[in-house]
Amino acid sequence: MTPDLMKAGAQARVEHDRKLAASPVQSGGRETSYSRVHVPGALDVTHGAILYLDDITVSFDGFKALNALSLSISAGELRCIIGPNGAGKTTMMDVITGKTRPDLGKAFFGSTIDLLRMRENEIASIGIGRKFQKPTVFEQLSVFENLELALKADRGVRSSMFFRLNGEQLDRIGAMLTLIHLKDSAQRVAGLLSHGQKQWLEIGMLLMQDPKLLLLDEPVAGMTDEETERTAELFLSLEGNHSLVVVEHDMKFIGELTQNGKNGKKVTVLHEGSVLAEGLLSEVQANEKVVEVYLGR
């Protein structure tokens, strides 16, 4: 054993571990038990699920917003969630991101991180990003400043006071500006953007945080057809490295995302606080219960 052989062996081990942690593996496979370094507090998706909701119940003054909702999103998946108004879609997101405490149930990020014990900013820091129904950007700051705030960096007070952008961070912001087609409006005050531009800015801010799970609540509301198409392309490119949950009403957009059922993306239908049906878009659209709920009988 020479020093360089030892070094090479150690490097190989590190490489191996890194590959293992990054790849979505089958539950119960050999890699899940052997030679895996488990870091407490870190996201653990070796069992496949990145988000796990079990029996979540939320009531407001007697009204059950969520009723024993159970849902599981696999790592790297793009899931679409549809449902009539009042089905509980936004409340479900509130529970995941820590805005609302459920009365019953469990919510886990990966296998180990209990979301119900954490505050909103902590949940945001560990890699869950949420885009709201109404675009909420920082209206008085410029587009550039909005993205700068969302940049993945130390969130503490001291570091913010003395913070200066380095070259790499500058490049990241630049690239994001290009991505969201706001390169020319970088210095514009965000309040003056159009509705669709604000939506894109918010998506951009979300991506700046490099989240592992994106929760997107009606991301294309108010966008033109062309913008909707671009958004669909963006989301499809993200999946694999990121997991996405998209809540939408726009069936055309859902169709684009799921490529009309061809790419095996699942669609979940929520109704009155629990899951009504789950499956490919075509299956769900043919499901009688779903038709009844949407069209009424």
Residues near another protein, by CB under 8 A: 60-61, 97, 99, 119-121, 124-125, 129-130, 132, 136-141, 144-145, 148-150, 155-157, 160-163, 165, 167, 170-179, 183, 186-187, 205, 207, 209-210, 230, 233-234, 236-238, 241
Q: Is residue 95 within 8 Å of 88, Cβ to Cβ?
A: no
Select 207 or 245, whichever has its Cβ closest to another protein. Answer: 207
Our CB check for another protein shows the closer of 50 and 93 to be 93
Written as six digits, the tokens of 109 are 């990020």
Do β-strands 243-247 and 213-217 pair in parallel, antiparallel, or remain unpaired? parallel
Q: What 8-state DSSP symbol labels residue 183?
A: G
Q: By CB neighbour count within 10 A (0-12 exposed, 13-18 middle, 19+ buried), where does 171 fall?
A: exposed
Closest approach of another protein to the CB of residue 2, in Å:
34
State which amino acid sits at residue 253: F
CA atoms of 111 and 126, how far apart (whole Å): 14
Choose between 47 and 242: whose C-beta lies nearer to another protein: 242
CB of 16 to another protein, least distance (A): 22
**Residue 272, by phi and psi: left (phi above 0), alpha (psi -120 to 50) or beta?**
left
**Calpha distance 184→187 (Å, rounded):** 8
- We find the least distance from the C-beta atom of residue 187 to another protein, in angstroms, to be 7
Identify which of residues 32 and 59 has a Cβ nearer to another protein in the complex.
59
Residue 150's contacts (CB-CB under 8 Å, 6 or more residues apart) are 204, 205, 206, 208, 209
Nearer CB in complex with another protein: 2/166: 166
Closer CB to another protein, 106 or 230, in the complex: 230
Matching residue, tokens 């991301």: 219
Cα distance between residue 105 and residue 181, in whole Å: 41
CB of 151 to another protein, least distance (A): 9
Q: Which residue, 71 or 208, is less far from another protein as judged by CB? A: 208
Shortest distance, CB of residue 297 to another protein, whole angstroms?
29
What distance, in Å, lies between the first and last C-alpha atoms of the chain? 77
Minimum gap (Å) between residue 86 Cβ and another protein: 13
Q: Are 276 and 269 in contact (CB under 8 A)?
A: yes
Asked if residues 174 and 108 have their Cβ atoms less than 8 Å apart, the reply is: no
Identity of the residue, 36 or 230, whose beta carbon is nearer to another protein in the bound complex: 230
| Residue 137 to residue 155: CA distance in whole angstroms | 18
Minimum separation from the CB atom of position 169 to another protein (A):
10
Please report how close the Cβ of residue 209 comes to another protein at its closest, in angstroms: 6
